[in-house]
Amino acid sequence: MDKNLASRPKVKVAFWITESTLAYLLLLPAIAVLIAFMLYPIVYVFLTSLYKTNRIGNLVKFIETDNFKTLFSRREFWEVTIRSVIWTVLAVSAKTLVGLTIALLLNVDFKGRKLARTLVILPWASSVPISAMLWQWTYNYDFGLLNYTLKITGLWKHPPHWLGYPLSAFFANLYVDIWIGIPFMALVFLAGLQSVPPNLYEAAEADGASLWQKFYHITLPLLKPVLLIATLLSCLWTFNDFNVIYILTKGGPVNSTDILITFIYKYAFSFLKFGPAAAMAVVAFAILLILSLLYAWFYFKSERY
């Protein structure tokens, strides 16, 4: 893999361009675009969290950490934050497992594989707000086909009002988020599996390795970088998954499905309280930053060997 990076002789393009310079030249356009458009918004969020704002979002008074203090004293904030973490862990685990399973299955050459691969992408193919609305329709107690099908197939004689009660609403939301995220995981893992040299498997089979051994000792290690990146990104996106919950339950019933991002939305867009909203955004960022640092440590460690 990347073990060569350290031992390789330096690369030269032309005598006046060092490797570092070349790298920066190649990176410059991307960096420039990102700075131009994301620097101000990010800085603004941090600034806003430290200020009292008027309802239009203009910074009024520097109040240091007051926004944070108010935030930390509210019980709902902690509930919502913990729920966000639980939400993310559950969803990402499910997405990874199911995605990996599907990728492994689709890696096998069977008739109709091409069709299956195309169909798997469907949950990802429509925009999240529209998918959420279609799911809202499916979850409908009276006219939705989910409960109807559960009843007539006998799978569940008395299915609940999915979006009406805290526990069922949480899992209903979770399922939709997982559902939307599975194709991406499956696709990413599939592409990763494709890069595994088949002769490795052939060699292992010749040695009498079982299916599980092949998976554990060949597939998994080679997939590690892809796995790490995919799950990390999925964590970032899932933590911030706003549309699903907002459209299905608006965080209800009684805030039982609120996660940090829907809470932020409420404070910013419904109550026009940009200060606390920004403070929460900073907290969300901090959580994701810590997570990413952990990942980065793992990732760069695996690179070096």
Partner 1 sequence: MKQNKGKFVVCFLIIVILLVLLFPFFVTLSTAFKPLKEVYASPPHWIPYRLWWRNFSDVWTKYPLAQYFINSFIIASGATLLNMVLCIPAAYAVARLKFVGRKFLLFSFLVVQMFSPIIVVISLFKIFARLGMVDTLSSLVIVNTVFTLAFSIWMLNGYFSTIPMEIEEAALIDGCTRLKAIIHVTLPIAMPGVVTTLIYTFIWAWNEFMFALTLINTAAKKPLTLGLYDLVGRWEVQWQYLTAASLFAVTPVIVLFILIEKQLVRGLAGGAIKG
Partner 2 sequence: MKKIGLIAMTLSLIPLLFGTPVGAKKEVSFFLALYDGLRPEYYQDLNRAFNEANPDIDLKVIPVDWNKLHDKLVVAIAGGRPPDLSVIGTRWLLEFLDIGVVEPIEKHLSKELIDNIEPGAMEARINNVLYALPVAAGPRFLYYRSDIFKKHGIAGPPDTFEEMLTYAQKINNPPNFYGVGMSGKKYVELTEFAYYLLGNDGYFFEINPDGSYGKCRVNDEAGVGALTFMNDLVNKYKVTQSGVTAYTRDEVQDLFVSGKLGIILIGAYTDVILKQRGVTFKWDYGLIPRFAGKDRHPLMITDSIMMFEASKNKEAAAKFLEFFYQDEWRLGFDKQVGFPPVLKSVGKMPYFQAPIYKVMVNSMSGAKGWPLIPQWAECNDIIWDAIGATFLGQKTPKEALDEAAARIDEIREE
Instruction: Give yes or no for residue 263 binding partner 1 (CB under 8 A).
Output: no
Applying CB under 8 A, which of residues 55, 64, 75, 114 lies at the interface with partner 1? 114
Applying CB under 8 A, which of residues 55, 111, 114, 301 lies at the interface with partner 2? 55
- For partner 1, which is the closer residue by CB, 63 or 288? 288
Do residues 268 and 277 make contact, with C-beta atoms less than 8 angstroms apart?
yes
Q: Which residues contact 137 (CB under 8 A, 6 or more apart)?
A: 143, 144
Instruction: Give yes or no for residue 155 binding partner 1 (CB under 8 A).
Output: no
Q: Which residues contact 171 (CB under 8 A, 6 or more apart)?
A: none
In the complex, minimum distance from the CB of residue 79 to partner 2, in angstroms, rounded to a whole number: 13
Closest CA to 264 of 88, 80, 60: 80
Rounded CA separation 152/149 (Å): 5
Which of the 8 DSSP states describes residue 164? Answer: T
Residues 251-280, one symbol each (x = binds partner 2 by CB under 8 A, - = not), give xxxxx----------x-xxxxxxx------
Q: Which does 208 bind (CB under 5 to 8 A by kind): partner 2, partner 1, none?
A: none
Instruction: Give yes or no for residue 134 binding partner 1 (CB under 8 A).
Output: yes
Q: Which residues, numbered 134-163, are part of the site for partner 2 (CB under 8 A)?
A: 140-143, 160-163
Q: Which residues contact 191 (CB under 8 A, 6 or more apart)?
A: 226
- For partner 1, which is the closer residue by CB, 169 or 223? 223
In the complex, minimum distance from the CB of residue 72 to partner 2, in angstroms, rounded to a whole number: 16
Rounded CA separation 146/134 (Å): 12
Stretch that binds partner 2, among 48-56, 193-201, 212-220, 224-232 (CB under 8 A): 48-56
Q: Which two tokens stand for residue 299?
A: 């990732």
DSSP 3-state percent helix, strand, coil across the chain (nearest 5): 75, 0, 25
Stretch that binds partner 1, among 42-50, 78-86, 162-170, 212-220 (CB under 8 A): 42-50
Q: Which residues, numbered 186-225, are part of the site for partner 1 (CB under 8 A)?
A: 187-188, 190-192, 194-199, 222, 225
Closest CA to 46 of 235, 270, 277: 277
Stretch that binds partner 1, among 66-74, 89-97, 131-139, 163-171 (CB under 8 A): 131-139
Give the CA-trace dihedral at 294, 285, 228, 31, to 10 degrees. -110
Applying CB under 8 A, which of residues 59, 63, 85, 128 lies at the interface with partner 1? 128
137: how many CB neighbours lie within 10 A of its CB?
12
- For partner 1, which is the closer residue by CB, 75 or 218? 218
Q: Which does 141 bind (CB under 5 to 8 A by kind): partner 2, partner 1, none?
A: partner 2
Q: Is 243 exposed, middle or buried (0-12, 13-18, 19+ CB in 10 A)?
A: buried
At residue 53, the 3 state secondary structure works out as strand
Judged by the rule CB under 8 A, the positions of this chain that interact with partner 2 are 35-37, 39-40, 43-44, 46-47, 54-57, 140-143, 160-166, 249-255, 266, 268-274
